[in-house]
Chain A
């Protein structure tokens, strides 16, 4: 099963390599990984999408916690949470297809962020399904390039007062 894990780490050089080394050394899978500073500049947050059965996930959680630079590990899987990813998609266009592409962009509330005579670059934000869906719709026009940030996640605030 797929899990989105958030890892708070000390913001030092070499930490990313400790984490990625742990995953590769122990045969854990990384589907995506994104890293940036938190509000506190001494701390970074890594969001890792991984997969495995309960036993593997338990080990991932424990092994991450064992690293001296890891402050906290949080698995979002069983929590209400929001996941987002950003993708830039460069799609081929011509006079015939421009309008149709723009209408797809509009439907997905995406944005065209760069235009050339033969291409649009589309910026789309959303969860994995949404990005997958727009990719499939744009694919017939000819996707030249796609860049994705990898997933980030945040727990939803409690609904009751």
Chain B
């Protein structure tokens, strides 16, 4: 007699049909039926050490590949531990599908063991979420979850799976199509608006492209480069947009915003035509909002209508997929011979940009006999890899230096928690990226504060023999907060000293990883070289860096972008 499958077995089959190759998870009581089904499955499961790690890994996997990251955890604490990871992905529009176990439907609402209303808890930080109350809805909901996570403006979707639903008899009938009447994302930009935008751009004398993470999400880096170079428009990107435009390209001015370059910030403050592409005018980008790009007409391309005119009034909005819209805009660019007058008109602007660029460049004071400068470590990592690496970061000074001093020529090579600013993100994200891209060099740039927020995942990295490289810029303080205390709180260093810390070399060894340390500038290159040679396990590089070093330029919060503190 043929035995019917149960919900858990069908769940695994659905994931395989969806093309999922890897899931990140941690077992528990409510989700045991799925773990039992996994025992016989070819689906690759990465066993993490904390559920937050699982979500950040899935996030790193998704950002490195563009494919949705998938998480499986149990009910109650397993589910609540995912919340920071989900909120991180939500803020940065990363496609994730998070499956949580739940107590049996009959017990929901009864304060059962390991019960938490995770659908209620995650409602404001997911793109959408579901509680599967009936086995007959399971497969449709899985299909919808992947569809919603990956279409339109991507984002995390959570699906809560009660144990009795997972145990219920079920037949595999995974739908091929999705129809959700109330969810129909729009990809095509309005042709009239596109034409209007192009006319405006071609009449500009001081145009600037301001590109954000949307360029990477919509795989539009090639189109962006094409558009920008054809029109000879200088470009800046947000933190999330790094890699969306080649970091070594002559038209690239560097990142803008609070820790942006002098040239990029001055350009934005003086432009007459700001072309915002897949960016959302975050407060870390705009500084004082009333003075942001105040001389500019603003064109804004974004797939999410809520992003348009949310913070800054936009003159020509185009709702649509960045890639689709850029393709249409490129079609409207006149032949090069007809662009001569336009390009001649930009000469003065490019001259001005060169002046700004010469006025102040990203820099730091290298002292061969002094302490290691954190920026120097980043530069040496860039040289050692020739930029051919996926870099993840934690949050704080390490993140800003990684953004400033490593050059990203390709999309999906810079992975950072931009919107939520989650310390503890970078290390597990590096694990996810390394699993997704086993042949790539993956470098996690960390601070000594952040790395300890998810250090337990070192066991995961060792278990799966991942050769990722963690570079700790160890200044024994919570550097960015300390920097704010130095500038704005009268050097009252309240609780930012974390000098009581583990010996990271011994810690690495205790987990079965390789630990290396550099105490002087002369040792930096040797340590990096040694780390790069390790192929069968993770390496932690502990760089003892100068604790006095600050991130410059800096626009104090609430100030306009041209009020930069320079070194």
Which residues of A pack against B, CB within 8 Å?
9-10, 14, 17-18, 21-22, 25, 55, 58-59, 62-63, 65-71
Contacts and interface: CB of A to CB of B under 8 A. Distances in A.
B148 A21 contact: no
Interface string B206-237: 00000000000000000000000000000000
11 contacts: A14-B123, A17-B120, A17-B123, A58-B309, A62-B306, A63-B306, A66-B304, A66-B305, A68-B127, A68-B182, A69-B182
Nearest to B310: A59
B309 A55 contact: yes
Contact of A59 (B128, B182, B306): B306
B124 interface: yes
**Which of B123, B182, B308 has its CB near the most chain A CB atoms (within 10 A)?**
B182
Interface of B: 119-120, 123-124, 127-128, 131, 148, 180-183, 304-306, 308-310
Given A14-B119, A68-B148, A62 B183 contact: no
A65 B305 contact: yes
A21 B123 contact: yes
Contacts of B304: 66
A118 to B, nearest CB: 41
A71 B148 contact: no
Chain B CB count within 10 A is highest, among A17, A21, A63, A68, for A68
A120 B123 CA distance: 44
Given A14-B119, A21-B123, A68 B180 contact: yes
Nearest to B185: A66
B102 to A, nearest CB: 14
The secondary structure that dominates the A interface is: helix
Nearest 5 interchain pairs by C-beta: A68-B128, A62-B306, A71-B182, A62-B305, A68-B183
Most buried by B among A17, A62, A67, A69: A62
Max chain A CB contacts within 10 Å: which of B119, B306, B308? B306
Nearest to A70: B182
Contacts of A71: 181-182
Nearest to B125: A25
A33 B5 CA distance: 45
Nearest to A55: B309
A14 B309 CA distance: 29
Nearest to B120: A17
A33 to B, nearest CB: 17
Contacts of A14: 119-120, 123, 131
B306 A25 contact: no
A96 B3 CA distance: 81
A108 B407 CA distance: 75
Contacts of A69: 182
A10 B310 contact: no
A66 B306 contact: yes
Contact of B182 (A10, A17, A22): A10
B289 to A, nearest CB: 12
A67 B120 CA distance: 15
Given A68-B182, A70-B182, 16 more contacts: A10-B182, A14-B123, A17-B120, A17-B123, A18-B123, A25-B124, A59-B306, A62-B306, A62-B308, A63-B306, A65-B305, A66-B305, A66-B306, A68-B148, A68-B180, A68-B183
A4 B382 CA distance: 57
Contacts of A9: 182
Nearest to B119: A14
Contacts of B123: 14, 17-18, 21
B147 to A, nearest CB: 10
A25 B131 CA distance: 22
A35 to B, nearest CB: 16
Contacts of B120: 14, 17
A9 B127 CA distance: 16
Given A10-B182, A68-B148, A68-B180, A21 B306 contact: no
Contacts of B181: 10, 71
A18 B310 CA distance: 20
